[in-house]
Amino acid sequence: MSGKTSNPTSSFAALARLIRYARGYRRQIIAATTCSIINKLFDIAPEILIGVAIDVVVNQETSFVASLGFETAKEQITILAVMTFFIWAGESLFEYLFQILWRNLAQRLQADLRQDAYEHAQRLDMSFFESRSSGQLVATMNDDVNQLERFLDGGANAMIQVAVSIVAVGAVFFILSPLVAVLAFTPIPLIVWGAFYFQRKAGPLYADVREKVGELSSRLSNNLGGIATIKSFTAEAREAERLKASSEAYVQANQKAIRISSAFIPVIRMAVLAGFLATFTVGGMMALEGTLNVGAYGVLVFLTQRLLWPLTGMAEVIDLFERAMASTRRILDLLAEPVYVHDQEGTALLQPVKGEVRFEQVSFHYPSSGAGIRDIDLHIPAGNTLALVGTTGSGKSTLIKLMLRFYDPSNGRILIDGQPIRSASLDSLRGAIGLVSQDVYLFEGSIRENLTYGRPDATDEQIIEAAKTAEAWSFIQALPDGLNTAVGERGVRMSGGQRQRLSLARALLKDPPVLVLDEATSAVDNETEAAIQRSLKRIGHDRTVIMIAHRLSTIVDADTIAVVDQGQVIESGSHEQLLAQKGAYFAQWQVQTGQA
C-alpha cells in the first residue's frame, strides 16, 4: 500500500483510532486493564511487606504493625505471613485473569479486524484493486493483523503495568522519603525522553519494515501464481534473484530498526543504575543518621528495583507497540479507504427485470491510463442481442464493466428497464446480469461448487441442463468424478476450453435476464463453438444478450452489431446493414472471410 505508510500521524493517533474501532469491546478492555492494575499492585506489595517485616524485627513493640494493635513481634510476623499469602494468591489470580482477558481480546479483535478489512475490501471499487497488489492486501490482512494480536497478547499489559509501577511506587516513595523519591525519580524523565526519541526514530523504520513485508509477500504470491510462465521462460534464476532482493530489502529495513532498538536498552540501563545508586547511598546515609526508618530504607531499595528495572523492558514494549501501531495504521487505512461506487441498498431494480439496456452519452476514462470510452449511445431492447466488435483495446469490455458498475461513468448514464443503474442496489443490478468474461476464474473446489456459484440451491437437473447448453456436459460426464471433480486452484486442472464452458454454464445456471458474453467461446474449437452458438440462440430468445467477439462469424445473427473504435461507436446496425455501408465492419468481414 505504497503512499499510505508515510502517513505522518503518530503511533498514539493510531492507538486512538484503534480504541475508537474497538469501542464495542470497551467493557472487556476496562476489565483487562483493571486486572492488570490490581495484579501490579499485588506484585509491588510484597516489597512493602519486607520493609514492614524489617521494621517489626528491629522495632518490635514500637513497630508500625504494633500501632495497628498486634502487640507481640510473633503476632506481627504471623499477620504479615497471612497477608503475604493473600497478596501472592491475589497476584496469581489477577495474573490469570488479565492473561485470559487480554488474550481473548486479542483474539476477538484480530478476527474482527481481518473480517472487517476483508469485507470492506470486497466493497471497494475495481480501481482500488488495480492500484494495489493482492500480496500487499494479504500482508495487511494477515501479518499486520497478527502483529497487533502479538501486542495485545502481552504488550498492552506491560505498558499499563509500567505506568502503574511509576504511580504506585512513586506514591510510596513520597510518603516514606520525599528526598529519596526525588533522587530515584530523576532518571525517569531521561528514560521517558529516550523512549519517545526511540519511538520517533523507530516509527518510520517499522512502517518501512511493514512495507517490505508487503512487497515480499506480493512477489511470492505473484511468482507462485505465475509459476508456469516462469518455467516456460526458464526465468527461475532471475526470479530467485528478484525474490532475494526483496528479502534483502526486508532484512535491511529490519536491521535499521534493530540498530535503534538495540541502542536503547544499554542507555536506559545506565539511567536505571543512576537512580538505584542514588536511593541506595542517600537512603543508606539517612538510615545511618537515623532520619530514615530501617524498614523504610529496605522498602525504598527494593522498590527502586521495582520502579526502574521494568523501564528497561519498555524498549521492548515500545518496539512491539511501534510495530503494532504501524500495522494498525495500515489496517485502519484500508478500512477507511473510500468506496466510490455507492450501493443504493434497498432500492432493487424493478422485478422481474425485463432486460432493456440503454447507454446514454456515456463517457469514462481510467484514471491510471487515460484510456476509456466517449459519448456512447446504445439501446438494446429487452430480449435482443447486441454484438460489440472492434479492434483490441477499443473499449468493449469497458462498456460491460460500466454496466456492472465496476466503475461509474464520468458522464452520461446507463439504464436497465428505464431505471438508472446508479439508483439501484448493486445486488439487484449484478444479480440481473450473467457475465462470462475473457479471464475465466474458477474457484478451488468441485465443478458442482463452481457451477452453482450464482445459484447455490440449483438442482442436479438444472445444473445438467445449463452444462448441456454450454456444451460442457459431455466432458463433465466423462470425468471419473463427474460434477464432483476438483478443478484445482483457479481451475488449473481444466483445459482452457473446458474452463470457458464451465464459466458459461455457471452464468447460464444463474439464469439472468441479461447475459454478457465477453469472448466467451474464444478458447473452444470451431465445432463446439457452433454448438454453443446454437444453444445460445435457443436460450437467447427470452433474455437480452450482449456479446463481444472477434470472430465475426459468431455474431452475424445479432439484432444489432455495434463497431467500437477508440472508445466510440463508429457504426451500428444488422450484419446486412453494416455490410451494405461498406465501412469498418465490411472491411473486417472481408479480411475474416478471406475476401480482402
Query: Could you give the CA distance from residue 278 to residue 276 in angstroms, rounded to a whole number?
Result: 5
Q: Contact between 395 and ligand ATP (CB under 6 A)?
A: yes
In the bound state with ligand ATP, the residue whose beta carbon lies nearer, of 28 and 522, is 522
Give min distance, CB of 405 to ligand ATP, in A: 15
Output the smallest distance, CB 158 to ligand ATP, in A. Answer: 46
Based on CB atoms, which residue is closest to ligand ATP, 62 or 369? 369
In the DSSP assignment, the letter for residue 344 is -
Q: Least distance (Å) from ligand ATP to the CB of residue 365?
A: 8
**Cβ count near 418 (within 10 Å):** 9
Distance CA 177, CA 180 (A): 6
* Least distance CB 318 / ligand ATP (angstroms): 42
| Least distance (Å) between residue 358 CB and ligand ATP | 19
Residue whose C-alpha cell is 526483496: 246
Query: Which of 41, 335, 371, 382 contacts ligand ATP by CB under 6 A?
Result: 371
What is the sign of the dihedral through the CA atoms of 126, 130, 134 and 140? negative
Evaluate whether 487 touches 494 at the Cβ level (below 8 Å). Answer: yes
Q: Mask of contacts with ligand ATP, 539-578, x by CB under 6 A? A: ----------------------------------------
Query: If 0-12 CB within 10 Å is exposed, 13-18 middle and 19+ buried, where does residue 140 land?
Result: buried
Q: Which H or E element spans position 37?
A: helix 26-59
26-59 vs 156-176: helix crossing angle, rounded to 10: 30
395 or 409: whose CB is closer to ligand ATP? 395
- Find all residues with CB under 8 Å of 559, minimum gap 6, and list them: 380, 381, 384, 385, 386, 574
CA 511 distance to own-chain centroid: 34
Q: Can residue 397 be called a binding residue for ligand ATP (CB under 6 A)?
A: yes
| Burial (0-12, 13-18, 19+ Cβ within 10 Å), 439 | exposed
Distance CA 70, CA 523 (A): 95
For ligand ATP, the binding residue among 210, 219, 396, 575 (CB under 6 A) is 396
Listed ranges 164-172, 377-385, 387-395, 421-429: which one lies at the site for ligand ATP (CB under 6 A): 387-395
Which residues between 129 and 168 bind ligand ATP (CB under 6 A)? 130
Residues 6+ apart with CB under 8 A from 441: 490, 491, 503
Q: For residues 192-231, which are near ligand ATP according to CB under 6 A?
A: none
Q: How far is CA 189 from the centre of its chain?
A: 38
Q: What's the CA gap between 321 and 15, in Å, rounded?
A: 9
Q: Which of 62, 122, 232, 369 binds ligand ATP (CB under 6 A)?
A: 369
User: Please, which residue, 385 or 437, has the CB nearer to ligand ATP?
Assistant: 437
Which one of the spans 304-312, 329-337, 396-404, 489-497 is the region binding ligand ATP (CB under 6 A)?
Answer: 396-404
Does the protein bind ligand ATP through residue 393 (CB under 6 A)? yes
Q: C-beta of 330: minimal distance to ligand ATP in Å? A: 24
- Provide the 3-class DSSP secondary structure of residue 79: helix
* Pairwise CA distance, residues 290 & 284, whole Å: 10
The CA angle 56-58-63, to the nearest 5 degrees, is 40
Q: Which of 20, 392, 456, 480 binds ligand ATP (CB under 6 A)?
A: 392
Reported as type and span, the H/E element at residue 571 is strand 568-573
Total residues at the site for ligand ATP (CB under 6 A)?
Answer: 15
By C-beta, is 310 or 390 nearer to ligand ATP?
390
Q: Locate 430 and state its grid cell.
A: 449484478
Q: Tell me whether strands 372-380 and 411-416 are parallel, antiparallel or unpaired.
A: unpaired
Q: How far apart are CA 521 and CA 470, in angstroms?
A: 10
> What's CA 304's distance to the chain center, in Å?
44
**Is there binding between residue 128 and ligand ATP (CB under 6 A)?**
no
| Site for ligand ATP contains 394 (CB under 6 A) | yes
| 521 in contact with ligand ATP (CB under 6 A) | no
Of 515 and 549, the one with the shorter C-beta distance to ligand ATP is 549
Cβ proximity to ligand ATP: between 5 and 394 the closer is 394
Beta carbon nearer to ligand ATP, 393 or 496: 393
Residue with cell 439504464: 415
- Span 307-366, contacts to ligand ATP by CB under 6 A: 366
Nearer to ligand ATP, 266 or 393 (CB): 393
Nearest distance from C-beta of residue 372 to ligand ATP, angstroms: 6
Q: Which parts of 74-186 are beta strand (E)?
A: none
Considering only the stretches 314-322, 340-348, 388-396, 505-513, report the one whose residues sit in contact with ligand ATP under the rule CB under 6 A: 388-396
**Residue whose CB is less far from ligand ATP, 125 or 557:** 125
Cell of 147: 502483529
How far apart are CB 134 and ligand ATP at their closest, in Å? 15
Q: Least Å distance between CB 394 and ligand ATP?
A: 4
Nearer to ligand ATP, 129 or 193 (CB): 129
Residues 6+ apart with CB under 8 A from 159: 317, 321
Residue 437 interacts with ligand ATP (CB under 6 A)?
Answer: no
Which residue, 261 or 398, is less far from ligand ATP as judged by CB? Answer: 398
Chain residues in the site for ligand ATP (CB under 6 A):
130, 366, 368-369, 371-372, 390, 392-398, 438
